[in-house]
Amino acid sequence: MAWEETKQELQAALQRVGEKKIALAVLPELASTGYLIPSKDALKRVAEPADGTGTYLKWIQEQCAVHSMDIITGFAESHGETFYNSSALVGPEGVLGVYRKLHLFSEEQDLFTPGNHGVPVIERHGVRLAMLICYDWAFPEAWRLAAVKGADVILHCSNLVLPYAQRAVIGHALCNRVSILTANRVGEEKDLTFTGQSQAVDAFGNLLIQGPTASTWESVFEIDPMQSRDKSVTARNDLFADRRRSL
Ligand code: ACM
């Protein structure tokens, strides 16, 4: 889809949720470019730096200002001649944090370089946020790292295609006592069908809300980010203190 068309769809969705006075909106992976970028040359044309000076992140910042909210979105990041499949936390004042996808899926490996900044945790209005992207769902160590670094909520921008990923994410929430929001895509690109079912899971693994598989959807809901701060599971067990780190 051309950027102008994508922009109109995003603007309408952000308007609908922005009217509800929310703190944070989460968009899918590579939300401005589409998933299947056909070549390195095409990627060069659509990628932009993480500092917020490019077309897409600047526009996202404007949307944050209009609606007095923050937005987390996937985007194609350029850093000189290196490209990352990234997500950014953006507020009215600009880009507040960036995550570079650690685990690249299929043809992404021909275009992007795997992330080199680990899993940053960013404090925003007293809540500690971490970001992971799509295929990271398959790597428990990424979720653990975010949680041991103190994340209260993990925002998971996605273009999921495998049908069991959403279920795996519920396990990551349970094992790390951390809330997770997955913003996933619907529809098709070439031979890929995206699985939708965007979801919010609380820190006890309860599925608070889940979208449809095949139609666009946005929803507004509340989570309690402080649920994640207490890792005890019984009077004598704590999910983090009980880890056997010497194995
Ligand atoms: C994926 O990582 N976009 C499947």
32-91 residue pLDDT tens: 999 999 999 999 999 999 999 999 999 999 999 999 999 999 999 999 999 999 999 999
Mutate to test the pocket of ligand 1, among 29, 111, 136, 195 (most ligand atoms within 8 A of CB): 29
CB 135 near ligand 1, within 6 Å:
yes
List, by residue number, the catalytic residues.
Answer: 29, 101, 134
Q: What whole-number distance in Å separates Cα of residue 23 and Cα of residue 72? A: 11
160 Cα: distance to centroid of ligand 1 (angstroms): 5
User: Residue 2 has what pLDDT?
Assistant: 85
* Alpha carbon nearest to ligand 1 atom 2, residue: 135
CB 75 near ligand 1, within 6 Å:
no
CB 159 near ligand 1, within 6 Å:
yes
Q: Which atom of ligand 1 is nearest to the CA of 135?
A: 2
User: Residue 26 has what pLDDT?
Assistant: 98
Q: What whole-number distance in Å separates Cα of residue 215 and Cα of residue 239? A: 37
Task: Give all domains of the chain, ordered by start, each with its CATH number.
Answer: 3-231 (3.60.110.10)
pLDDT at 1 over 80: no
- Most distant CA pair in the chain, distance: 57
* Torsion, CA 108, CA 3, CA 74, CA 208, rounded to 10: -120
114-157 residue pLDDT tens: 999 999 999 999 999 999 999 999 999 999 999 999 999 999 99
Which structure tokens are listed for 199?
């979801």
Mean pLDDT, residues 162-191 taken together = 97
209-244 residue pLDDT tens: 999 999 999 999 999 999 999 999 999 999 999 999
Q: Is the dihedral of CA 48, 49, 53, 56 positive or negative?
A: positive
Confidence of residue 3 (pLDDT cuts 50, 70, 90): confident
What's this model's pTM, rounded to 2 decimal places?
Answer: 0.97
Confidence of residue 110 (pLDDT cuts 50, 70, 90): very high
End-to-end Cα separation, the chain, in angstroms: 49
User: Residue 131 has what pLDDT?
Assistant: 99
Mutate to test the pocket of ligand 1, among 135, 193, 197 (most ligand atoms within 8 A of CB): 135
Rg of the chain (C-alpha set): 17
Q: What whole-number distance in Å separates Cα of residue 96 and Cα of residue 138? A: 26
Q: Which atom of ligand 1 is nearest to the CA of 105?
A: 2
Mutate to test the pocket of ligand 1, among 87, 108, 156 (most ligand atoms within 8 A of CB): 108
13 Cα: distance to centroid of ligand 1 (angstroms): 23
Residues 116, 100 contacting (CB under 8 angstroms): yes
Which structure tokens are listed for 16?
């609908």
Q: Which atom of ligand 1 is nearest to the CA of 158?
A: 3
Q: What whole-number distance in Å separates Cα of residue 236 and Cα of residue 224? A: 24
CB 105 near ligand 1, within 6 Å:
yes
Q: What whole-number distance in Å separates Cα of residue 75 and Cα of residue 98? A: 10
Confidence of residue 12 (pLDDT cuts 50, 70, 90): very high
Residue 107, phi then psi, degrees to nearest 5: -65, -15
Q: How many Cα atoms sit within 13 Å of 223 on the Cβ side? A: 29
